[in-house]
Structure 1
Amino acid sequence: MQARMKNPATIIPAAQKPIMELMKAAHSGGLSQELAELIHLRVSQINGCSFCVDAGHKNLRKLGESDERIGLVVAWRETPYYTDAERAALELAECATRLADRADAVPDDVWDAAADHFDEQQLASILLIVATTNLFNRLNAPIRQIAGSW
């Protein structure tokens, strides 16, 4: 397998710095690194971005996450490995990624559950991580960026 082209942010270097700054800002909102990476992994799974799924998996392993928590984030609703706060964040991340799946992109019950566990800055961080991950997924998936090619 071969990528169709280089990553667009490397072809247009002026894009790299603002994208990296956005990612840095997204991670500055008070969430744990582990939760940020779980969100990144789940959003990347939804979008079918093998490059980002691979990176998320590797980052979570480096952070010491268990095989169960990494491997089963795809089925987080049916497993006992996540806290209520993590579940709320993952559900918010899924809704914010699948905007067109329902008339109300993020239903009140989903928002309220997340707001029960996270303050406004943390909610902003979750949304920025989702948005940034979606940006990465939308750059990598169309060009078929090869998993592990970093």
Structure 2
Amino acid sequence: MQARIENPASLLPETMKAINVLYQQAHSAGVEPATLELVHLRASQINGCAPCVDSGARSARQSGETEERLFAIAVWRETPYFTEAERAALALAEAATRLADRPDPVPDDVWAAAAAHFDDKQLAAIVLWIATTNFFNRVNVATAQPAPQNWG
């Protein structure tokens, strides 16, 4: 696969400042890094973003994530590998990523489950991380960015 254009963030480098601020803020609110990794990976799977699925899985693995959990992300509801807090974050990620799939995109029960495990600042960080992931996914998919071929 060949990209339609170079990555837009490379072509417009000032955008990286904003992206870095979003990244730093989402990762500074006290949410377990593994939870944010899982949220990023699941949203990227839903959106079919090859570079984000690839880099997300690699990053999670480098952070100590297990293979069985990585392999089971797409079917997290049917496995015993995830905590209740992670399940709540994954449900929120799926709902906030699939906004057009139902009339009530983020139902109260999904939000309430997440709110039972995360405080307002952490919820804000998770929502911002979901939005940031969806931003990356849309940029990469629209411009046909491929997954890296050589990781060395």
Q: TM-score range by the shorter chain?
A: over 0.9
TM-score by length of 1: 0.96
Which amino acid letter does the alignment assign opposite residue 142 of structure 2? P
Q: Which residue of 2 aligns with 1:48?
A: 48
Which amino acid letter does the alignment assign opposite residue 36 of structure 1? L
Aligned counterparts, 1:1-150, within 5 A = 1-148=1-148
Using the aligned pairs only, state the percent identity.
58
Unaligned runs of 5+ in 1: none
For residues 71 and 129 of structure 1, what CA distance do their matches in structure 2 show? 21
Runs of 4+ in 1 over 4 A off after TM superposition: none
Which amino acid letter does the alignment assign opposite residue 47 of structure 2? N
For residues 135 and 88 of structure 2, what CA distance do their matches in structure 1 show? 22
For residues 74 and 101 of structure 1, what CA distance do their matches in structure 2 show? 17
Q: Deviations over 1:95-150 (max 9, x none)?
A: 01111111111111111111111110111111011000001001111111111268
Which amino acid letter does the alignment assign opposite residue 109 of structure 2? D
RMSD: 1.1
Deviation at residue 23 of structure 1 after TM alignment: 1.3
Which amino acid letter does the alignment assign opposite residue 126 of structure 1? I
Q: Deviations over 1:28-65 (max 9, x none)?
A: 11111111100000000000000000000000110111
Bigger Cα displacement from structure 2, 39-48 vs 19-28: 19-28
Unaligned runs of 5+ in 2: none
For residues 148 and 28 of structure 2, what CA distance do their matches in structure 1 show? 26
Q: Deviations over 1:60-102 (max 9, x none)?
A: 1101111111111010001110011110110011101111111
Which amino acid letter does the alignment assign opposite residue 44 of structure 1? S
TM-score by length of 2: 0.95
Q: Secondary structure at the match of 1:117?
A: coil
For residues 21 and 111 of structure 2, what CA distance do their matches in structure 1 show? 26
